[in-house]
């Protein structure tokens, strides 16, 4: 279960994703360098032609080759969601999985339109199949949100079938088929006038996604939509009551974790996920994709659940702390998640330490954003500040 959003502003696109995965599944945030075309590349289950790669920053479950979300040096960002469809994902032969398609889309594209062509071309050629949740031994198909500084696409899939729709002002996707007849591009088996909802599993539980879409969709398409990356940070921390934890705001103003655990009406399902012993948000990323090529590409990455983490400012694809690619780092934040789930009153104490650190880092990053010569030093010092906060919380 995940939530991915984007908002197209006048001169840039804002993008964010919470990656919800099985509890205790480690997720790493890493930079991967460029590759020249030639030979083959091993994805999770297939070996395919290697057409080369741009420099990419991606967040991936440690056992997977592909990404839950990421962005590339050309200012393209992609995130995916599990969707429940009428086609049986468990019966599909091993092929590409959604996370492979996110990574390949980033490696091979320079625009959102390129990425759409890459992802759908790979679906047409190879299809989808294979275990994507090792904890529960489950296969599934995916939807995708692709964005660049001026455009965005929603893609929904079921096996090799797919449909896509451009986003006008913004978009939010979650764990359900949501396209109807409003798609503008589709695979050959989706004919003119087809309602893509017919690929939705009629037994799927819509509340799983709809409760979260009621929080995210108005925030990126409504009259009071998000203005900046800080607003997205607050949205990614949504515990069902309201956005909260905006960097720079009062760190004592916290929103309690949901009390219910997967109730019959969807209680307990939130954007910042805390379904005890089942699913939790394992990583979060916010991207600012400016249309002005002279303005630096920026991102903010949070290991673990964003409510007990820091959205660390980075200047991708190179100026990113290597510690974010460490299992030990992820485990430290996962320990904080467990701490607040056992005793929700601990959230205030954790934010009292991490909130001011985050606010100071965001302010400093804003100050030096247009000076590339300071980016690497800032990132190294930023992680040192976060590390000290974690040490304080573990004392």
Residues catalogued as catalytic: 2
Rounded Cα gap, residues 212 and 2, in angstroms: 9
Within 38-172, where are the H helices? 98-107, 112-126
Q: What angle do CA 90, 92, 94 make, to 5 degrees?
A: 105
| φ, ψ at 166 (rounded to 5°) | -75, 150
Half-sphere exposure of 92 (CA within 13 A, CB side): 25
Compute the CA torsion angle 159, 163, 166, 170 (nearest 10 deg): -60
CB 246 within 8 A of CB 237: no
Helix axes 375-394, 346-368, angle to 10 degrees: 170
Question: For residue 135, how far is the Cα from the chain centroid?
Answer: 20
Rg (CA), the chain: 20
Please check whether residue 142 is in contact with residue 150, taking contact to mean a CB–CB distance below 8 angstroms.
no
109 SS3 class:
coil
What is the distance, to the nearest Å, from the Cα of residue 228 to the centroid of all Cα atoms in its chain?
A: 17
Residues in the chain: 395
CB neighbour class for 223 (10 Å; exposed up to 12, middle 13-18, buried from 19): exposed
What are the Cα distances from residue 91, in Å, to 64, 267, 309, 313, 340? 20, 31, 38, 42, 39
The alpha helices in the chain, defined as continuous H runs, are: 98-107, 112-126, 207-221, 229-236, 327-342, 346-368, 375-394
Angle in degrees, CA 326, 330, 332, rounded to 5 = 115
- Tell me the C-alpha distance between 188 and 303, whole Å: 39
């Amino acid at each position: 279960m995940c939530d991915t959003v984007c908002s197209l502003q006048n001169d840039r696109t804002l993008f964010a994703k919470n990656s919800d995965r099985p509890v205790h599944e480690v997720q790493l945030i890493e930079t991967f360098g460029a590759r020249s075309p030639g030979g083959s590349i091993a994805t999770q289950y297939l070996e395919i032609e290697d057409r080369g790669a741009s420099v990419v920053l991606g967040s991936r479950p440690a056992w997977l080759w592909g990404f839950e979300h990421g962005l590339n040096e050309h200012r393209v960002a992609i995130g995916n969601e599990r969707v429940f469809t009428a086609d049986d994902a468990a019966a599909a032969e091993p092929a590409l999985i959604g996370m492979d398609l996110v990574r390949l889309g980033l490696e091979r594209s320079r625009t959102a339109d390129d990425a759409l062509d890459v992802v759908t071309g790979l679906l047409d050629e190879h299809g989808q199949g294979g275990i994507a949740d090792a904890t529960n031994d489950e296969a599934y198909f995916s939807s995708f949100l692709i964005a660049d500084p001026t455009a965005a696409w929603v893609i929904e899939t079921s096996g090799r079938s797919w449909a896509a729709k451009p986003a006008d002002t913004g978009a939010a996707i979650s764990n359900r088929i949501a396209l109807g007849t409003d798609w503008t591009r589709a695979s050959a088996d989706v004919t003119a006038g087809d309602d893509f909802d017919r690929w939705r599993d009629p037994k799927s539980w819509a509340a799983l996604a709809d409760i979260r879409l009621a929080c995210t969709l108005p925030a990126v398409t409504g009259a009071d939509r998000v203005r900046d990356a800080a607003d997205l940070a607050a949205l990614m921390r949504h515990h069902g009551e309201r956005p909260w934890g905006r960097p720079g705001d009062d760190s004592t103003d916290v929103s309690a974790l949901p009390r219910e655990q997967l109730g019959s009406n969807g209680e307990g399902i939130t954007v910042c996920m805390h379904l005890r012993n089942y699913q939790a948000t394992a990583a979060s990323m916010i991207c600012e994709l400016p249309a002005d090529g002279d303005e630096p590409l920026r991102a903010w990455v949070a290991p673990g659940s964003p409510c007990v983490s820091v959205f660390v400012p980075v200047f991708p694809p190179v100026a990113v702390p290597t510690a974010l690619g460490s299992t030990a780092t992820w485990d430290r934040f996962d320990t904080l998640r467990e701490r607040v789930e056992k005793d929700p009153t601990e959230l205030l104490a954790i934010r009292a330490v991490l909130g001011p650190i985050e606010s100071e880092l965001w302010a400093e990053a804003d100050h030096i954003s247009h000076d590339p010569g300071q980016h690497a030093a800032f990132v190294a010092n930023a992680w040192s500040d976060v590390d000290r906060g974690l040490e304080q919380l573990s004392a």
